[in-house]
Chains A and B, each alone.
Chain A
Amino acid sequence: DSGVTQTPKHLITATGQRVTLRCSPRSGDLSVYWYQQSLDQGLQFLIQYYNGEERAKGNILERFSAQQFPDLHSELNLSSLELGDSALYFCASGGAAMNTEAFFGQGTRLTVV
């Protein structure tokens, strides 16, 4: 158990809809990272938050947004969903520096139909 909790584990929704994925980091970790894992693209870094502030942005679409709340949990919002958004979405938590390891949750499997 990594200590990172993601909900829900599975999500099935229709194209055009909006969903929210939730992540609770390990106790004491201030950073939350979001990754997308798909068969064709592999693991793609989406965005990082540190202590409530956006810290780094990767390959995140404009239809996607995230935030980190004062209790440090984070939410990833995906809107105007397309079939190609079907993937595993992982949250990881860790320290502030980019050269530290990250602890991953078990992921949310999103299926867009």
Chain B
Amino acid sequence: GNSVTQMEGPVTLSEEAFLTINCTYTATGYPSLFWYVQYPGEGLQLLLKATKADDKGSNKGFEATYRKETTSFHLEKGSVQVSDSAVYFCARSGGGADGLTFGKGTHLIIQP
């Protein structure tokens, strides 16, 4: 079936550091890819998305490029802030009647 694998956390960085959170997905069908963010005590919020190969999603300084050749959708940000501390989920859709398939989440901690 469909699956999404993302790097285990927690990931701890200093403010203004460069961020990469790796995500790979199973290549069945033609999925759309998403990054969601979950702040403490809240539901998931869509951060960015890409619907086809080579698309780049971007929002709030975060970027991710849909790479079909490597089945990846890595999340990057050039300079993180303390307020970026949250849990980040990579997800894919399509390929069958199973809703969105999420990775296990990466807990990001940004220290001042």
Task: Give me the interface of A with B, judged by CB distance under 8 Å.
Answer: 2, 4, 33, 35, 42-43, 45, 48, 55-58, 90, 92, 98-107
Contact = CB atoms under 8 A, between A and B. Distances in A.
B32 A99 contact: yes
Interface size class of B (residues with CB under 8 A): 20 to 34
A57 B94 contact: no
Given A45-B98, A98-B96, A99-B94, 14 more contacts: A2-B45, A42-B102, A42-B104, A43-B102, A45-B99, A48-B97, A57-B97, A92-B43, A98-B97, A101-B34, A102-B100, A103-B46, A105-B43, A106-B42
B94 A98 contact: yes
A107 B38 CA distance: 11
B20 interface: no
A40 B49 CA distance: 26
A58 B98 contact: yes
A103 B44 CA distance: 8
A92 B89 CA distance: 15
B93 interface: yes
The 10 closest A-B pairs by CB, nearest first: A104-B43, A56-B97, A45-B99, A99-B32, A43-B102, A42-B104, A104-B44, A106-B43, A99-B93, A98-B93
Contacts of A92: 43-44
Question: Which of A43, A57, A90, A105 is most buried by chain B, counting CB atoms within 10 A of its CB?
Answer: A43
A58 B16 CA distance: 40
A42 B49 contact: no
B51 interface: yes
Nearest to B89: A43
Contacts of A104: 36, 43-45
A87 B45 CA distance: 19
Contacts of B103: 42
B89 to A, nearest CB: 7
A33 B99 contact: yes
Question: Which of B31, B34, B51, B93 is most buried by chain A, counting CB atoms within 10 A of its CB?
Answer: B93
B42 A55 contact: no
Contact of A48 (B32, B94, B99, B104): B99
